[in-house]
Structure 1
Amino acid sequence: MRRIWAALTTTALTAAALTGCGLGSDDGKNSDSVASAAATGEVKGKVSLQTWALKPKFTDYMQGVIDGFKKKYPGVEVDWLDQPGDGYSNKVLSQASAGDLPDVVNLPPDFALPLAKKDLLLDVSKADPKLADEYVAGGVDAYRFAGQDGVYGYPWYLNTDVNYWSSDLLTQSGLDPKKLPAGLDDLIAQARVVKEKSGGKTYLMSRKPGIGDLYNAGVKILADDGKSFTFNTPEAAALLDRYRDAFKEGLLPNDVLTNTYAGNSKLFNSGTAAWTTAGANYITSLATDNPTLAPKVVPSAAFNTPPLYVQGVSIPKSTKNPAAAVALARWVTNAENQAALAHLTSVFPSTKASANDPFFSRSDGTNAGDAKVIAFTSLAKAKLIQPVVIDDAMSTVINQQIALAISGQASSKQALDSAVQQCDKLLKG
């Protein structure tokens, strides 16, 4: 599900780890109000920027962004630091513990959350009142955290998922690739047709449900205060019941609940599954892996609320140059600079002004071009549907309990109750 490339990896930097290293909260000397007021001052002096794994591939790009900033603000000195992909979470942890965070630091939402909880990040919605007007809502909301007031980062570059369908497998089953499933009811109905026509050799559905499916079923995942999980509802149990029945009917691969499960994208690539979800550049990469299949893939928008994958930059409250830090954060994430980055790699800008850029909003007539437009258009309503507090340990628990429910080894309600109970314990550390 994390499809943007190494710089968008989201290894969890947990609040427990921060606390364990003795990281204290802000001492009050750099309050939001003081920093926000200072952010309106003259842009001058030294300011530091830290990115994540952009060298050497994007060195020229980033240097151009920095040079443009210095041209706009003569006399400003920018110190650009780029950290390797591996160990970045530990590096940020070490910097935060020592009080040495750069003035503008590349933080995905799950890295920003524990720092925000420790009152170490600037509420950029106070420092920059135009934030919500100029960036897409989902990107801004990704830096709003349950139990915390404020916005703790500028969304930088984004991605989302698109549905991909094999027109060959659908046609072979007597289904019309122009009448694609619009939701779970259609998906199950067409999955039944695919199974019957193929004799169980191919599938339409090839993954078990997850947190995103519960969210799109109207299930509240996390309490408003961020202190407990709430996804053990009758609606959630009903959704798992439907998947359990589909699995029992043979509409999903037998190994979908086991450690030998290859993943639905691999099953799609091999011609075993007729549907998968992936990022906007999937067809382009598929052209290398399976050039025969790629031209026959039909993209469509993700069901319900599309998932949002976010990379961003945050500003520590300890910055000694808030005016330059805010100006630099805005500059790095402005529409022009984001568009230039998107031309170099498969990401999308987070600015509302980018909606009028034909590079994103118009297809070149290929299915890959169609997928790019579908993904970009989806960003207007995409959301970070999995709370950032869900770390790898919680994900393991949730997946295990969902597998028990789908297999029938536990009732759906029992599995969800167990998942919530275990995740609440992990959340409280």
Structure 2
Amino acid sequence: MRRTIGLALAAGLLLSSCALSGTTTETRDPVDAEGEVTGEVSLQTWALKPRFTEYVEGVIAAFEEEYPGTSVTWLDQPGEGYSEKVLSQATAGELPDVTNLPPDMALPLAREGVLLDLGQVEDDLAATYVEGGLGAYAFAGLDGTYGYPWYLTTDLNYWNADMMAAGGLDAADPPTSFDELVAQARTLKDATGAYLMSRKPGMNDLVSNGIPVLSDDGEEFVFNSPEAVALVERYAEAYADGLMPQDVLTDAYLGNSELFTKGEAAWSTGGGNFIAGVLENNPSLEGTIVPSPYMGITPMYVQGVSVPAASKNLPAALALARFLTNAENQEAFAELVPGIFPSTVASQDNPSFSESDGTAEGDAKVIAFTGLPDAEVLQPVEVTEAMSTYFDQQVAAAIAGQITAQQALDAAVAKCNQLLAD
């Protein structure tokens, strides 16, 4: 499921070059969503068949029972090529009444006036959904909210207790800041030669440390600040001191979670069901993995549903979107999918998510779930794959000592702003 949560897509670039069927935010008319909830309405999801067919069909049947006279047509699109499918639908004015859109795909549609600003028709969004989930659909430079958050996940820290103990460290008292992480990485390396740190920073790490990446109006990137430079310099120092694997900057790098799974690094980050995936690939780590809260601002990954402004049946579309994302239906979905959580405020006290069964896996689930109210989407949805790639290349060069951190971030900001303006 993580594939469809927070996945960076090229939809923004595709949509920027096409004329979409919608009304620009500057010229949109007031929305009239009053009326009887009846008639035909369409729902589009992303790669939920066949695994979740029974669940979705059950939600649809319950909706039709609650609103007699309604008829829901369910369209489920394959995972591959979904952004292109949404683009063609939007261009033709055929976007389904309720469409599953992650924030990065919703952004260009919202900018073109294709999506309904829910603030025009809803009074209690903030009381219904967690702040970070709603915030994912409130875009820089635009007024309004353009999606109902559906299901969420987040990241937390995982520590290899045996590796840490061998270096005199305690996984039950892990680092809670970057400075503590570097200090314990040095302790472990000096004592055993093993690695605690095993990845370079991304844009999300800047935001997690309270460093702005994008201006408030969404018109320019600003991550070449003194604070960002200092963070990259700290990573460069750690790399130069041998606190990270040499190939962390090369194409041979396996990835942080892979090194953790192989027992070659004592720290990783992952979602609430991370432990199950690790043990499936390396059962010998059973009993050695200890979870803890994420350092800094906790990342949130969001899926949601949006309603096109041009829907021919707005009363039914809005009712269906609310019904799909209500607490009862979200909680039932989360019970089926380990690692995802409901976005509803009413679900925060549900013991199924807020109480551990005493296992490390149960503790991880609770840590992930209880972190959601304060979690945020860290990397701005304006960031494209090309931007991320260039940022990573420049930061890698700085960490390797080939250029300064200031030079790297200045170059990355210039490139990202160029791509943003294109």
* Residue 104 of structure 1, CA deviation: 0.5
* Residue 125 of structure 1, CA deviation: 2.0
Q: Contact 1:286 / 1:294 at 8 angstroms: preserved in 2?
A: no
Aligned to 1:41: 35
State the distance in 2 between where 1:114 and 1:288 align. Answer: 39
Aligned to 2:288: 296
Provide the aligned length of Structure 1 versus Structure 2: 421
SS for the counterpart of 1:413 is helix
Aligned to 1:85: 79
Which piece of structure 1 moves more, 170-179 or 100-109? 170-179
* Residue 25 of structure 1, CA deviation: 4.5
* Residue 14 of structure 1, CA deviation: 3.5
State the distance in 1 between where 2:3 and 2:268 align. Answer: 22
Aligned to 1:390: 383
Aligned to 1:345: 337
What 5-or-longer segments of structure 1 have no aligned partner?
Answer: none
Aligned to 1:286: 278
State the distance in 2 between where 1:101 and 1:400 align. Answer: 37
Q: Aligned letter for 1:18?
A: L
State the distance in 2 between where 1:143 and 1:93 align. Answer: 18
Aligned to 2:48: 54
What 5-or-longer segments of structure 2 have no aligned partner?
Answer: none
Aligned to 1:374: 367
Aligned to 1:203: 195
Among candidates 257, 268, 272, match of residue 264 of structure 2: 272
Which whole-Å deviations, capped at 9, do the CAs of 1:237-275 have from their partners, x for residues lacking one? Answer: 011111111110000110111111111111111111000
Q: Contact 1:237 / 1:412 at 8 angstroms: preserved in 2?
A: yes
Q: How does 1:116-155 map to 2 (within 5 A)?
A: 116-155=110-149
* Residue 142 of structure 1, CA deviation: 0.1
Q: Aligned letter for 2:277?
A: S
TM-score norm. by structure 2 comes to 0.97
Among candidates 241, 248, 263, match of residue 240 of structure 2: 248
Which whole-Å deviations, capped at 9, do the CAs of 1:261-303 have from their partners, x for residues lacking one? Answer: 1111111111110000011001112221111213210000001
Q: Contact 1:46 / 1:321 at 8 angstroms: preserved in 2?
A: yes
SS for the counterpart of 2:30 is helix
* Residue 31 of structure 1, CA deviation: 3.6
SS for the counterpart of 1:415 is helix
Q: Aligned letter for 1:390?
A: V
SS for the counterpart of 1:133 is helix
Among candidates 91, 95, 102, match of residue 96 of structure 2: 102
CA gap of 1:120–1:214, structure 2 versus 1, over 3 A, is same
Q: How does 1:206-221 map to 2 (within 5 A)?
A: 206-221=198-213
State the distance in 2 between where 1:9 and 1:404 align. Answer: 26
State the distance in 2 between where 1:51 and 1:148 align. Answer: 25
Aligned to 1:10: 7
State the distance in 1 between where 2:395 and 2:123 align. Answer: 42
* Residue 11 of structure 1, CA deviation: 4.1
Q: Aligned letter for 1:144?
A: A
SS for the counterpart of 1:112 is helix
Q: Contact 2:100 / 2:306 at 8 angstroms: preserved in 1?
A: yes
State the distance in 2 between where 1:96 and 1:167 align. Answer: 50
SS for the counterpart of 1:403 is helix
State the distance in 2 between where 1:319 and 1:100 align. Answer: 9
The reply on whether 1:363 has 2:395 as its aligned counterpart is no
Q: Aligned letter for 1:414?
A: Q
Aligned to 2:63: 69
- Percent identity (aligned): 54
Q: Aligned letter for 1:149?
A: D
CA gap of 1:6–1:56, structure 2 versus 1, over 3 A, is farther
Alignment RMSD (CA, Å): 1.5
Q: Contact 2:12 / 2:105 at 8 angstroms: preserved in 1?
A: no
CA gap of 1:16–1:266, structure 2 versus 1, over 3 A, is closer
Aligned to 1:182: 176
Q: Contact 2:152 / 2:301 at 8 angstroms: preserved in 1?
A: yes
SS for the counterpart of 2:87 is helix
* Residue 29 of structure 1, CA deviation: 12
SS for the counterpart of 1:292 is helix
* Residue 336 of structure 1, CA deviation: 0.6
